[in-house]
Amino acid sequence: MTFDTIKAIIADKLDINPEQITMESGFDDMKVDSLYMVEIMLSIEEAFGITIDEAEGMNTVADLVAYVENKLQK
């Protein structure tokens, strides 16, 4: 569920097919620059009602999904 929402946000922001995005997809591989990352993070914060404190260290979609799921449990 979390992954599907995040996948949809990333696909929308990068204008790519959601089927291209897996848990193992790396942000560098998808050519996500800092501006795209900010847009993605803001959309995720809005979608889940959370605050993302630090995006550093999030290299893959799996890292981001784990972070969001951890925030939702608090």
The predicted-structure confidence for 36-57, as pLDDT tens digits, reads as follows: 999 999 999 999 999 998 877 8
Whether the per-residue pLDDT at 25 is higher than 90: the answer is yes
User: How many other CB atoms are there within 10 angstroms of residue 34's CB atom?
Assistant: 8
Q: What is the pLDDT of residues 10-21, one digit of tens each?
A: 999 999 999 999
Instruction: List, in order of start, the domains of the chain with CATH numbers.
Output: 2-73 (1.10.1200.10)
Single pTM value for the model: 0.92
- Average pLDDT in the 8-34 region? 95
Give residue 68's pLDDT band: very low, low, confident or very high (50, 70, 90).
very high
CB 24 within 8 A of CB 61: yes
pLDDT of residue 55: 74
Q: Which long-range contacts (CB under 8 A, 24 or more apart) does 11-20 make?
A: 12/43, 13/39, 13/40, 13/43
